[in-house]
Amino acid sequence: MMLWRGIWALLAVAALVLAVLLPEGWMWPAKEMQLPMARWISAGMKWLTDSAAIGPVSFKDLTRGFAAVVEAPYEAARVLLVDGITEGKGRRAATIVPPLSWVAVTVAAVALGHYARDLMLGLLAGALMIYLAVFGQWESAMVTLASIVIAVPMGVAGGLALGIAGWRWKPVERVLMPLLDLMQTIPTFAYLVPVLVLFGFGPVAALLATVIYAMPPMVRVTLVALRAVPAEIMDFAAMAGCTPGQRMRKVMLPVALPDLMVGVNQVIMLSLNMVIIASMIGAGGLGADVLESLRRLNIGGGIEAGLAITALAVVLDRLGQALAERAGGRQALQGPWWRRHPRLVLVLAVALATGLLGLVLPAVQDWPKGWTVTTKGFWSGLMEWINVNYFDQLETFRVWMLEHLMLPVKRFFFALPWPFVLAVLALAGWRLGGWRLSALAAALCLFVAVTGLWEQAMMTLYLCGISVLVAMAIGVPLGIWAASSPSAGRGIGGVVDTLQTLPSFVYLIPVVMLFRVGDFSAMVAVVLFALVPAVKYTAHGLRSVPAELIEAGVVSGATRGQILRKIRLPMAVPMILLGLNQTILLALSMLVITALVGTRDLGQEVYIALTKADVGRGLVAGLSIAAIAILADRLIGAAAKGARERLEGAG
């Protein structure tokens, strides 16, 4: 142990000396060792779209045909929620059957909340839906919801099928696991580039990107849920003579349903987040409103659309959680279907009644524009007031952070020779996980080096490192406070739950208005987005410390501070490390979004590739971010595993 401490101390001193003495970029990968991966991938994609064929059918026709199949249910959802059935086009279009009224959709939300948990949840869902109508965000919200109601079933069905296949056939699982790791670490923008090339610009391409992005959690949850089915239930099914298909449909899936619903909730939230991002390739809806506001620096419009996204996210999140808790918890009622499903009957009746009544009273069908309320002026005025009255303080804080923290760290990363970085990462992998992890670390670092994106990768590491450092510095004390006081725990829990439901785009709007574009604004947005796991994992780790250990400390005369420092925190280290891991992954995903505020890292490369439909450039940059994320995940995971083993050995 002392030898390794000495080695790490020497490496730290060497890194500081190199950062001080050497100029930036002194020894980055030479051009001779860089491979034209982006050009190779783009050429392959061009061949695939222009020349590849399966028999007489070209690959391009296949992709367009698949898009047409997906477009049919999406158009049906739009007809139901947004457009209705119309005749004619443009201004001459006449509505034959209107879409669901705002009253019907609100009643449906209330009924679903009551079904999932209780009337209070139903009223919360209904109130938030009315909020969307009152503030003039109804149509955009329904466009977003139309994408969600199609993307979620597709993501759940695809994830369930792949999870079942992985559970049944081990070779499939061995292929799936690294693929899932890659899918969950590649940034969201990178999904959009190949989908845009294969399926064209429009809501269908955005829908497919959403399904691909949201599917991995469902696959993982399905594998875990099926393995958790008790062996005695499996034996009972075999004794009853069930075929493998019957055993899966009638025994395993019903037993695993509560766990599977957790995966469904994850798919819902990821789908919402991705639909917002996919507005960049034609998804429309609330995401398009936020994006347009960012481009025009429309403070009030951006915040109002962002709050509408938050309201919709809260509705979907709370309903998803409640349905997950409810799954399998109640017995089916007996009798005709209208007695077994009274809420559904109510919703159908309200939809029909409001549709007919809306022909006479338009306010029942569409929320009147004269009744809408806007806060755009308020938010614009608030931001202007803050900038006028606190500009000097905000600017002083920004400059101090840049000069005393961000720029020194940036210089440190930019001055390190790439072989030194590779050697340190390989040594860390060997120390934490043996030769396999060391080889993986070296291979991932070498991959980034040969892509020609080393400078952008160092920029990403600098921004991610600073953001994670600040997030942990804020999140760990908050987690300690939340675990130490029930009242503080409730308050902090409410705040972090709200932060967790906010889509990533929303964080950019107030940050840009207060601090303008640049690295500091990106850091603030990343910290806010990645703060949640730092708080939650710290609090959970401290609460999980066995009570008998704390009682032993009290009996021995230790103070509260000593119990925290010498018992609770050391026992919570594995969980805190897992929180650090999740914070890093969230920070990397958010850094791609912050490309919109002027960063010059790998996220900016993905964003530029998206604007130019350059598949090779986008995928190489996305894979480089994935390499950094996988490396951080493996190293920190190995450190957490080692910490747990040391605690168990000490126990």
Q: What is the DSSP letter of 90?
A: G
Which DSSP category does 567 fall into?
I
- For residue 425, what are its two tokens? 């990462």
Looking at 3.20.20.70, 1.20.120.1730, 3.40.50.720, 1.10.3720.10, the CATH number of the domain 378-650 comes to 1.10.3720.10
Q: What is the mean pLDDT of residues 217-245?
A: 81
Cα gap 570→603, rounded to integer Å: 36
Confidence at 90, pLDDT banded by 50, 70, 90? low
Statement: residue 24 has pLDDT above 70: no
Neighbours of 637 (CB within 10 A): 16
Residues contacting residue 642 through CB under 8 Å, at least 6 positions apart: 432
Q: Rounded to whole angstroms, how far apart are CA atoms 589 and 601? A: 12
Task: Give the number of other CB atoms < 10 A from CB of residue 337.
Answer: 9
User: What is the Cα–Cα distance from 96 to 86, expressed in whole angstroms?
Assistant: 5
Tokens of 24: 């930036």
623, amino acid identity: L
* DSSP string for residues in 96-154: EE----HHHHHHHHHHHHHHHT-HHHHHHHHHHHHHHHHTT-HHHHHHHHHHHHHHHHH
CB-based burial label for 149 (10 Å; 0-12, 13-18, 19+): middle
Give this prediction's pTM.
0.81
Query: What integer is the mean pLDDT of 376-389?
Result: 84
Residue with tokens 């998803």: 320
Residue 553 in 3-state DSSP?
helix
Q: What is the pLDDT of residues 61-80, one digit of tens each?
A: 777 777 888 888 888 888 88
201 in the Ramachandran plot: left (φ > 0), alpha (ψ -120 to 50) or beta?
A: beta
d(CA 532, CA 589): 14
* Whole-number Å distance between alpha carbons of 314 and 318: 6
Tokens 């009242």 found at: 487
Say if residues 140 and 276 touch (Cβ distance below 8 Å): no
pLDDT of residue 92: 63
Give span(s): CATH 1.10.3720.10, the chain: 155-328, 378-650
The closest of 89, 88, 218, 230 to 156, measured between CA atoms, is 218
Query: Tokens 């006449």 appear where?
Result: 94
Write the single-letter amino acid at 180. Answer: L
Contact 176, 219 (CB under 8 A): yes
User: 């995903």: which residue's tokens?
Assistant: 589
Sign of dihedral through CA atoms 208, 211, 214, 215? Answer: negative
> If you ran DSSP here, which 8-state letter would residue 87 be given?
E
DSSP string, 353-403: HHHHHTTT-HHHHS--GGG----HHHHHHHHHHHHHHHHHHHHHHHHHHII
Tokens 């493998």, residue located: 244
User: Per mean pLDDT, which range of 8-22, 401-415, 464-478, 519-533 is the poorest?
Assistant: 8-22
DSSP 86: E
Size (the chain), residues: 651
* pLDDT tens by residue, 484-522: 888 888 888 888 877 776 767 777 777 887 887 788 888
Reported as a pLDDT band with limits 50, 70 and 90, residue 109 is very high
- Which amino acid makes up residue 612? K
Q: Report the C-alpha gap between 70 and 211 in whole angstroms.
A: 11
Helix 37-50 vs helix 59-78: angle between axes, to the nearest 10 degrees? 80
Residue 302 is predicted with a pLDDT of: 79
User: Residue 151: which region, alpha, beta or left (left: phi > 0; alpha: psi -120 to 50)?
Assistant: alpha
Which pLDDT score is estimated for 133? 92
Owner of token pair 């309903």: 319
Give the pLDDT band of residue 124 (cuts 50, 70, 90): very high
Amino acid, res. 377? G
Bridge partners (DSSP) listed for residue 85 = 97
Give the DSSP per-residue string, 192-250.
HHHHHHHH-SSHHHHHHHHHHHHSHHHHHHHHHHHHTS-HHHHHHHHHTT--HHHHIII
pLDDT of residue 473: 93
Q: How far is CA 410 from CA 11, 450, 458, 520, in A?
A: 18, 22, 8, 12
The pLDDT, as a whole number, for residue 55 is: 67
What's the pLDDT tens digit per position in 135-176?
Answer: 989 988 998 888 888 888 898 899 899 988 888 888 888 888
DSSP 297-358: T-HHHHHHHHHHHHHHHHHHHHHHHHHHHHTT-SPPPPS-HHHH-HHHHHHHHHHHHHHHHT
Query: CA 592, CA 190: separation in Å to the nearest integer?
Result: 9
Dihedral in degrees, nearest 10, Cα atoms 409, 412, 416, 422: -30
The domain at 155-328 falls in which architecture?
Orthogonal Bundle (1.10)
